[in-house]
């Protein structure tokens, strides 16, 4: 029961972050699971099985709040599912020893991407009147799905910043549409893991805890999209991901030292300080233009 409660809290926190940033549920959850010694493939499988429920609730919540562009969802979800199934099959075939540093390194890169996008990046410029086309959405979905399954997370960090940077869809609609399309990629990845890990036992307390916490947080997270300071949230989440996965890599390569840990925490402190300073200087957000069809 204690483990169930712990992972429910992990799922709640991760989904609150994911629904607000449009990313990082899988990255946050997988980072914590791998750090506690769970095999990377089992960690990713657990996260994706839990996300079947959380992404469904998140998608419905975003839809009801008007955050979803269904044309974008339709073009990115199917390629995302194909990539996720392929990634799950690939990760299931790796040994734990070889997969741990690979996954930690991938999660570290995703953490850096989150920090770069939300703390050091410039505010997105939205140009109304267009939507991203299939030429961008199909390969983006394929790549994002593959990275998501192999890293235990990554769908949001790959797809959300790319679509926001394109300037063809309002950030609120990007987050809602990406979160909704993630349901398809999650189902595909889960099927791939269940096939690839047929001989390994999954801990249903982990899956159940992540699911319960995520479902509770999903409606609240969709609401936060309009009200939360994204630089501070991105800075906090990115810092946690950098420190945790940096620790895993140091252990994998037997390079642990006081100086190395001191550097990790110093970098995290600087990131949070920059995020706070950025928010204090941010102008008020302009009203959202009405969306138009292609």
Interval 222-232: pLDDT, tens: 566 555 566 77
Name the burial class of residue 186, with classes exposed (0-12), middle (13-18) and buried (19+) by CB atoms within 10 angstroms of its CB: buried
**By C-alpha distance, which of 279, 217, 267, 277 is closest to 238?**
267
Residue range 226-241: mean pLDDT, rounded: 70
- The yes-or-no verdict on residue 264 having pLDDT over 50 is yes
Nearest to 142 by CA among 123, 122, 167, 162: 162
Q: Return the residue matching tokens 């189902």.
A: 187
Q: Is the pLDDT of residue 20 over 70?
A: no
Task: Answer yes or no: pTM beyond 0.75.
Answer: no
Q: Would you say 40 and 96 are in contact if contact means Cβ atoms under 8 Å apart?
A: yes
Alpha helices in 36-133 (DSSP H): 40-64, 70-92, 96-115
Distance CA 25, CA 12 (A): 9
Q: How far is CA 112 from the centre of its chain?
A: 13
Instruction: Please compute the mean of the pLDDT values over residues 184-192 and round it to a whole number.
Output: 89
**How sure is the predictor about 89, in pLDDT bands with cuts at 50, 70 and 90?**
confident
Is 80 in contact with 181 (CB distance < 8 Å)? yes
Both tokens of 7, joined, read: 């992972």
Q: What is the pLDDT of residue 57?
A: 79
Q: At what angle do helices 25-35 and 155-166 cross, to 10 degrees?
A: 150
User: Mean pLDDT throughout 105-131?
Assistant: 73
* Dihedral angle over CA of 81, 85, 90, 95, nearest 10: 120
Nearest-CA neighbor of 233 among 65, 68, 55, 16?
16
Per-residue pLDDT averaged across 48-63, rounded? 81
Instruction: Name the DSSP letter for residue 119.
Output: I
* Cβ-based neighbours of 73, under 8 Å, separated by 6 or more: 177, 180, 181
Query: How large is the average pLDDT for residues 52-64?
Result: 82
Whether the Cβ atoms of residue 230 and residue 209 lie closer than 8 Å to each other: no
Range 11-37 average pLDDT: 68
Name the percent of the chain lying above pLDDT 70: 73
Pairwise CA distance, residues 102 & 41, whole Å? 11
């Amino acid at each position: 029961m204690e483990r169930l409660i712990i992972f429910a809290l992990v799922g709640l926190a991760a989904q609150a972050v994911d629904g607000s940033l449009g990313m990082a549920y899988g990255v946050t959850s997988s980072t914590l699971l791998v750090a506690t010694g769970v095999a990377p493939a089992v960690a990713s499988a657990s996260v994706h099985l839990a996300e079947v429920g959380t992404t469904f609730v998140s998608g419905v919540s975003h839809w009801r709040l008007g955050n979803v562009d269904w044309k974008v969802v339709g073009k990115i979800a199917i390629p995302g599912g194909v990539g996720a199934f392929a990634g799950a099959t690939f990760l299931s075939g790796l040994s734990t020893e070889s997969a741990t540093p690979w996954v930690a390194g991938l999660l570290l890169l995703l953490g850096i991407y989150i920090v770069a996008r939300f703390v050091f990046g410039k505010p997105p410029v939205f140009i109304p009147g267009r939507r991203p086309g299939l030429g961008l959405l199909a390969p983006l979905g394929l790549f994002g799905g593959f990275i998501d399954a192999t890293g235990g997370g990554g769908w949001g960090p790959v797809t959300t910043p790319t679509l926001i940077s394109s300037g063809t869809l309002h950030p609120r609609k990007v987050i809602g549409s990406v979160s909704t399309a993630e349901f398809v990629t999650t189902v595909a990845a889960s099927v791939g893991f269940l096939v690839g890990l047929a001989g390994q036992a999954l801990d249903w307390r982990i899956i159940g805890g992540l699911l319960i916490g995520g479902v509770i947080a999903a409606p609240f997270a969709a609401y936060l999209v309009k009200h939360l300071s994204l630089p501070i949230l991105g800075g906090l989440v990115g810092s946690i991901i950098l420190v945790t996965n940096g620790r895993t890599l140091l252990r994998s390569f037997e390079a642990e030292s006081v100086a190395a840990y001191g550097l990790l925490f110093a970098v995290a402190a600087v990131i949070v300080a920059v995020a706070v300073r950025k928010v204090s200087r941010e102008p008020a957000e302009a009203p959202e233009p009405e969306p138009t069809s292609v």
